[in-house]
């Protein structure tokens, strides 16, 4: 039987380090994903994974279980990634231009829109599409990428993101909207062969 | 309501944050405008696509390195 996170946390609090190993193996991919998508660098992302699980080990007694372990872990990982993002020597950015859809004078879309939404169910079958999305997200300027990753990958609320980034909720919404528009435009170009 | 207005509030529409009268106007526009309906579908799909595309796994070698690094760090602070 697969032991749930709550049971593993209880065992870890009781001093059973084997529970820690299970938690690390279960969640390391997600933490790595947070680090990689925010920092765009594999070594930095691996550092985030290591720092995050060390924090978990040292602070497990302060985890009161009011939120799921996964959320608590995600918050620690995000804070570690943000800290690294603020302090590291910046990798030169070749940022994606933040593009929005174009409209004519009557406020109608200028170009035809192809509905690629069914691809969302098939992304696991298309390595190329997944790669394109990762590259697009990577090329977003930091301030847009961070919000997109926190909202759409980590599924944090606008309020949680605002608190983490010390922004207002309307500011978070504006950045997220622009980031989604930019990713959407990039995918539309790619799928229509314009890029 | 114009296509441009609808596009500008898709985030609020998707998140369920629009008050009923405004939400109704957006829905009415999306029913009548195939272009905007397609645009809204793809805007919503971006969230799932990002979620799926960013999900990664640590390689076995990286996982083994991580295990070892954590054990060493924990022993050092014990």
Task: Report the percent of chain A where pLDDT is more than 90.
Answer: 54
Is A152 an 8 Å CB contact of chain B?
yes
Q: Right CATH number for A117-192 from 3.30.70.1230, 1.25.10.10, 1.10.10.10, 1.20.1090.10?
A: 1.10.10.10
d(CA A38, CA A80): 10
Task: Give the pLDDT confidence score for residue A56 in this predicted structure.
Answer: 96
Confidence check: pLDDT of A7 > 90: yes
Q: Find how far residue A186's CA is from the centre of its chain.
A: 18
Q: What is the radius of gyration, based on Cα positions, of chain B?
A: 23
Q: Which of the residues A109, A116, A162, A185 would you substitute to probe the B interface, choosing the one with the greatest number of B C-beta atoms within 10 Å?
A: A109
Q: Which residues make Cβ contacts (< 8 Å) with residue B70, sequence separation at least 6?
A: A24, A50, A53, A54, A57
What confidence tens digit (pLDDT) does each residue in A73-99 have? 999 999 999 999 888 755 555 566 777
Residue B24 CB neighbours (<10 A): 11
Task: Give the pLDDT confidence score for residue B16 in this predicted structure.
Answer: 86
In the DSSP assignment, the letter for residue A109 is B
Is B38 an 8 Å CB contact of chain A?
yes
Q: What is the radius of gyration, based on Cα positions, of chain A?
A: 19
Confidence check: pLDDT of A194 > 70: no
Band of residue A124 on the pLDDT scale cut at 50, 70, 90: low
Backbone angles phi, psi at A109, to 5 degrees: -55, 135
Top-level CATH class of A5-87?
mainly alpha
Task: Give the pLDDT confidence score for residue B58 in this predicted structure.
Answer: 86
Closest CA in chain B for residue A52: B70
Write down the H helix ranges in chain B.
3-8, 10-14, 20-32, 34-54, 60-77
Is A170 an 8 Å CB contact of chain B?
no
Concatenating the DSSP letter of every residue in A26-61 gives HHHHHHHHHHHHHH--HHHHHHHHHHHHHHHHHHGG
CB-based contact A120 B48, cutoff 8 Å: yes
Whether A31 contacts A37, CB under 8 Å:
no
**What residues of chain A lie within 8 A of the CB of B35, using their CB?**
108-109, 112-113
What confidence tens digit (pLDDT) does each residue in B6-54 have? 999 999 998 888 998 999 999 999 999 999 999 999 999 999 999 888 8
Is B63 an 8 Å CB contact of chain A?
yes
Shortest Cα–Cα distance, B58 to chain A (Å)? 5
Whether A120 contacts B52, CB under 8 Å:
yes
Domain boundaries, chain B: 3-77
Q: Token pair for residue A115?
A: 């509905």
Domain boundaries, chain A: 5-87, 117-192
Shortest Cα–Cα distance, B15 to chain A (Å)? 10
Q: What is the mean pLDDT of chain A?
A: 88
Q: What's the ipTM? A: 0.86
- Hey, which residues 47-106 in chain A have their CB within 8 Å of chain B? 49-50, 53-54, 57-58, 101, 103, 106
d(CA B17, CA B11): 8
């Amino acid at each position: 039987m697969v032991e749930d996170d709550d049971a593993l946390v209880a065992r870890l609090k009781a001093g059973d380090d084997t529970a820690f190993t299970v938690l690390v193996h279960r969640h390391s991919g997600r933490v790595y994903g947070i680090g990689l998508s925010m920092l765009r660098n594999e070594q930095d992302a691996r550092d985030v994974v290591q720092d995050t699980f060390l924090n978990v080990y040292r602070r497990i007694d302060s985890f009161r279980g009011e939120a799921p372990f996964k959320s608590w872990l995600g918050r620690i990982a995000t804070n570690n990634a943000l800290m690294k993002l603020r302090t590291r020597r910046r990798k030169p950015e070749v940022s994606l231009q933040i593009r929005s859809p174009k409209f004519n004078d009557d406020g109608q879309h200028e170009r035809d829109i192809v509905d690629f939404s069914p691809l969302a169910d098939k992304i696991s079958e298309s390595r190329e599409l997944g790669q394109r999305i990762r590259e697009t997200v990577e090329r977003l300027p930091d301030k847009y990428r961070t919000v997109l990753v926190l909202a759409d990958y980590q599924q944090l609320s606008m309020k949680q993101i605002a608190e983490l980034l010390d922004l207002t909720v309307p500011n978070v919404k504006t950045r997220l909207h622009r980031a989604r528009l930019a990713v959407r435009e990039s995918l539309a170009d790619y799928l229509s062969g314009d890029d | 309501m114009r296509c441009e207005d609808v596009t500008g509030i898709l985030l609020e529409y998707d998140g369920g944050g629009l008050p009923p009268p405004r939400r109704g106007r957006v829905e009415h526009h999306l029913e009548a405008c195939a272009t905007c309906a397609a645009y809204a579908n793809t805007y919503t799909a971006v969230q799932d696509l990002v979620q799926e595309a960013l999900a990664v796994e640590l390689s076995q070698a990286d996982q083994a390195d991580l295990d070892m690094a954590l054990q060493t760090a924990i022993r050092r602070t014990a």
